[in-house]
Structure 1
Amino acid sequence: MCEAGRRLYASALRSGRIARAEVEPAPCLMDFALLHPDPDDADWLRPVPPSAALAQHLQPIEREIQQRRQHSVELAECFGPFMDISAQDPPTTHAITVLEGVNRINAALDLATAECRTEVLTIQPGGGRSEDRLTEALERGLSVVDRGVSIRTLYQHTVRHSPGILAYAERMADANVEIRTLEELIERLIVFDRTVAFIPAQDDRQVALELRHPGLVEYLVKVFEQLWNRAAPLLEEVKYDPAPRGISGVQRSIAHLLVEGHVDDSIARRLGMNVRTCRAHVAKLSAALGSTSRAQLGYLIARSGILDQDS
């Protein structure tokens, strides 16, 4: 009830009735069914006793409570036989759990984040991130570093030109967070406390795998550490080995993938850039080597020696 409704209801209880015109500023009295028309005079209203009004409002709540209690009893009876079976044998660890749908994936990540106590390792392939994803990452990151948890994240070199990623790194600079970049990465990976890992199961990221088998998690941690040792800190300049004809490190990486037979879409995805940027680098590479076709470009790359150091 509003304050005016409280005052008017108390007045009606004291006097036994109240003029209909007086209650117009307090429609809550009628909404709560605290007044009813005076049978002797239509211009007046009589108060409903508070005990009767309270019982009327409590009745549906009590009925819902009874229904929920009955539901809880039915659930306990349903799961009781399975609990008995579970108690007889040692509990099993779910080595691989399939998570379908973004909501279930995020719920599992939130739970692992809440339970994390020492370290988070993440690999985030691709280019810059949307504002929503960076905000989500910032919230998760702050929630764990405040508990003394360390975070190490691997991005691709292309994020060095992303204002959002640089702002995120600056925000986390004072925390126990390290960020490094590589030219090319494996698919997305998140590892909590070296005991549980999450990897995508589909390209659309609608299905993920939660891995708790010690052997699998240890293997993924070793993969992360190998990539980490080769990566460069985000805020330090990337040093490329010198290449002939002014060909950049990015263009040399593209050349390597071209001679392996990858198309533009595949190269762009693996190097974390959009297709337009990839094609611009291919065009510069073609101009530097004097190529007029894709077939000739592959031949000239092999002949130029720019991949000799890689091989």
Structure 2
Amino acid sequence: MKPTHPHPITELCDEGARLYASALGAGRIARTEVETAPCLLEFALLHPDPDDAKWLRPVPPSSVLAQRLRPIEREIRDRRRVTIELSDAFEPFMAISAQPSVTTHAITVLEGLQTINATLDTATAQCTEEILTIQPGGVRNLDVLTQSLERVEGPVSRGVRLRTLYQHTVRHGPGVFAYLERLHSGHVQVRTLEELIDRMIIFDRSVAVIPARRDRQVALELRHPGLVEYLVSVFNQFWQLATPLTEEAPYTPPNDGITGIQRSIAKLLVEGYVDEAIARRLGMNVRTCRAHVAKLSATLGSNSRAQLGYLIAHSGILDKPPN
């Protein structure tokens, strides 16, 4: 007899339930009656009548229930036993981990913006002395600045010092100035440079977070004292070269018709960078970068990108100091 409507015993079909109840009430049921409900025999709710093969007798529900529960209860006991064994096996290690940690992971990979932001929030909340940040790029997006403001307002109000490096291009928008006005604290300092390395945040000179992939979906949390101290020294070198936001950015007058920003672009062009990478390095949009490249080409008399690289390399403009 093939099943016509397979289902688990916990979802007994209406026909099966009706026939099983009928068999329990009458004490037996004709085999022909249950042809529409093969589940009754599959689940052993009925068994052949020893006195007449044409009839079936119902198995008491208490017996069916006990039979079905027995393997489940056995599985529960086995799982409880494994749970106790696992707890006993790891209890010594739990005691060790509960003690003050003497070592930490030197490098932790953070995957996903949610994990990265959670790590930054935790480090910011635990910071007690100083936060150093490098934020490359151009004019700051209002949403980005608002998120940054919400993160640092607490530490700054507790007296934590905040030093941030941006690129000169942030001066072309009101965002960073409004950001500083909102914080309005002597503990906050901002300086700018023409070119910066990639994003970096250092907390209390003990924890650093840096991007590990261009799309910033993966970051590294660094806690190795040597690594963090090295990054602090890199930050401080940039800081000494940078100009406070409260002062005018240095202006490099044209030298042989080449401005300071065009000289920076020329240097990156010779090194093989494409327009998008140059724009990212110098914190400007690609359109502005290409406009500078066009002016550089016109000044040097270049007719192609390949010729421009050759003319830059042989013109000596990268060897000349600014006026």
Report the TM-score, using the length of structure 2 for normalisation. Answer: 0.68
AA partner of residue 152 (structure 1): R
Task: Measure how far apart 1:113 and its partner are.
Answer: 0.7
2:182 alignment partner, one of 171, 181, 195: 171
Quote the Cα distance in structure 2 between the aligned partners of 1:87 and 1:293.
66
Cα pair distance change 1:290/1:123, threshold 3 Å: same
Match runs of 1:30-109 below 5 Å: 79-84=90-95, 86=97, 91-109=102-120
Task: Measure how far apart 1:84 and its partner are.
Answer: 4.1
Quote the Cα distance in structure 2 between the aligned partners of 1:156 and 1:80.
52
AA partner of residue 163 (structure 1): P
Task: Measure how far apart 1:301 and its partner are.
Answer: 2.5
Q: Which residue of 1 aligns with 2:285?
A: 274
Q: Which residue of 1 aligns with 2:275?
A: 264
Quote the Cα distance in structure 1 between the aligned partners of 2:96 and 2:129.
35
AA partner of residue 164 (structure 2): T
Quote the Cα distance in structure 2 between the aligned partners of 1:182 and 1:88.
45
Please give the secondary structure, in 2, of the residue aligned with 1:244.
coil
Residue pair 1:126, 1:273 contacting (<8 A) in 2 also: yes
Cα pair distance change 1:204/1:310, threshold 3 Å: farther
Q: Which residue of 1 aligns with 2:161?
A: 150
Cα pair distance change 1:169/1:87, threshold 3 Å: closer
**Cα-Cα RMSD:** 2.6
Residue pair 1:243, 1:306 contacting (<8 A) in 2 also: no
1:200 alignment partner, one of 211, 214, 239: 211
Task: Measure how far apart 1:95 and its partner are.
Answer: 1.1
Task: Measure how far apart 1:139 and its partner are.
Answer: 1.4
AA partner of residue 276 (structure 2): D
**Which string of whole-angstrom CA distances, capped at 9 and with x for unpartnered residues, describes residues 122-147 of structure 1?**
00111122222110111122111101
AA partner of residue 215 (structure 1): G
Quote the Cα distance in structure 2 between the aligned partners of 1:275 and 1:241.
22
Please give the secondary structure, in 2, of the residue aligned with 1:191.
strand
Cα pair distance change 1:90/1:115, threshold 3 Å: closer
Q: Which residue of 1 aligns with 2:191?
A: 180
Task: Measure how far apart 1:265 and its partner are.
Answer: 1.4
Please give the secondary structure, in 1, of the residue aligned with 2:105.
coil
Quote the Cα distance in structure 2 between the aligned partners of 1:105 and 1:242.
42
Residue pair 1:121, 1:152 contacting (<8 A) in 2 also: yes
Between the aligned residues of both structures, percent identity stands at 68
AA partner of residue 257 (structure 1): L
Quote the Cα distance in structure 2 between the aligned partners of 1:135 and 1:80.
45
AA partner of residue 176 (structure 1): H
Residue pair 1:120, 1:152 contacting (<8 A) in 2 also: yes
Q: Which residue of 2 aligns with 1:35?
A: none
AA partner of residue 223 (structure 2): R
**Which string of whole-angstrom CA distances, capped at 9 and with x for unpartnered residues, describes residues 92-131 of structure 1?**
3111111111111111111111111111000011112222
Q: Which residue of 2 aligns with 1:230?
A: 241
Quote the Cα distance in structure 1 between the aligned partners of 2:230 and 2:216.
22
Quote the Cα distance in structure 2 between the aligned partners of 1:128 and 1:291.
31
In structure 2, runs of 5+ residues without a counterpart are: 1-79
Cα pair distance change 1:234/1:85, threshold 3 Å: closer
Task: Measure how far apart 1:254 and its partner are.
Answer: 0.3
Task: Measure how far apart 1:87 and its partner are.
Answer: 6.9
Task: Measure how far apart 1:247 and its partner are.
Answer: 2.4
Task: Measure how far apart 1:85 and its partner are.
Answer: 5.3
AA partner of residue 106 (structure 2): A
Q: Which structure is larger by alpha-carbon Rg, 1 or 2?
A: 2
Task: Measure how far apart 1:79 and its partner are.
Answer: 5.0
